[in-house]
Amino acid sequence: MARTAEKAESLAEESQSMADAMARVLRVADEQGTVEWSDVSGDITSGEWGRLIEQGILVDVDGEGFVVDDPEGVRDALGDDAPAEAGSTDGSSGSSGSSASSGTSTASSGSTDDEDEGWSRWDKLAAVATVALFLGYSQAPIRNGVGGVIDLALGPLADVMPFYIMILVLATFTGFSSTVLQGKLMNMEKMGEYQERMQEIQERRKEAKERGDDEALEEIQEEQMEAMGDQLGMFKEQFRPMVWIMLVNIPVFLWIYFMVQTPEMVAGTGPAMVLPLIGEIATWNQRIGPMWAWIVWYFVCSMSFTQIVRKALDVQTTPSTS
């Protein structure tokens, strides 16, 4: 029981979302005796539910649901966030209204934490849209459809600008948008905490190994297994902004692809172009190694201007530990 209380306290200190998840399952368990995933799926994430089972906060009762292993210990660990026991109300309409309000508040809090800590509904929709856009690289109808729509806005600019300048402008735009999205959506502080925790575990394991403390090594190994959930959380933090970045960048890339497939571009009727370090090219579809010339020029421009934008906006793209 004491071990369960310690784990509950550790989870509560780890993040507010885990504290809210424990408070929610504790409230449902107090009211119903047991709690199932369907009872709380609207308020907590599947990852948080899995962590509670993994840490032993929730214990399976012969397939009839889950119970909180040490309700009082969990309640003490939550402190002010702990829900009142189900039996403390007098059944009056005022109490019922208060309970309903509390439940609504908890659900709202769970929803907010899901937005902040996990993938929101919009993130998932963006991921689906990104996968659909990816098909444009191999499916001409999708590529031509996306390219044609974007050409309504970019076509007039392409008519008055040299194409290499157009690519440079678009590469600058995608570099700027990528940097801003990374800065807004990637929680560097949280990722830094993940790394610090893993470094601390590694250091404690090294010290225990040096002094031959087998009991401590077993506990640290168990803690390492528990920390695997943090590794998944770190991966999600890194991948989430990439979904939005690709949602912006892929349509731009498809429009350039759409443009270089036009008869004028394929025929190379325009003047020859000279690229830095590469030399003269006849058409943008000319191969430079395994890639087309326009892809090489786009990546050179994009990588260069992305670094400039990151420095200018002081956007951190890698977690720092202290």
Kindly state the percentage of the chain with pLDDT values over 70: 75
Print the SS3 string covering 92-113: CHHHHHHHHHHHHHHHHHHHHH
Give domain limits for the chain. 2-117, 121-189+231-313
Q: Can you name the residues that pair with 281 across neighbouring β-strands? A: 273
The mean pLDDT value for 301-319 works out to 78
For 288, phi then psi, to 5°, come to -120, 95
Q: For residue 251, what pLDDT band results from cuts at 50, 70 and 90? A: very high
pLDDT at 271: 55
pTM: 0.53
Cβ neighbours, 10 Å, residue 87: 8
pLDDT at 14: 77
Q: Which amino acid is at 278?
A: I
Q: In this structure, what DSSP letter does residue 80 have?
A: G
CA dihedral 210, 213, 215, 217 (to 10 degrees): 0
C-alpha to C-alpha distance for 1 and 201, rounded to whole angstroms: 24
pLDDT at 85: 52
Give the length of the chain.
322
Q: Which amino acid is at 202?
A: Q
Tokens of 110: 């769970």
Tell me the pLDDT tens digit for each residue of 22-41. 888 888 888 888 888 888 87
Q: For residue 268, what pLDDT band results from cuts at 50, 70 and 90? A: low
Q: For residue 109, what pLDDT band results from cuts at 50, 70 and 90? A: very low
Q: Is the pLDDT confidence value at 269 over 60?
A: no
The mean pLDDT value for 248-263 works out to 87
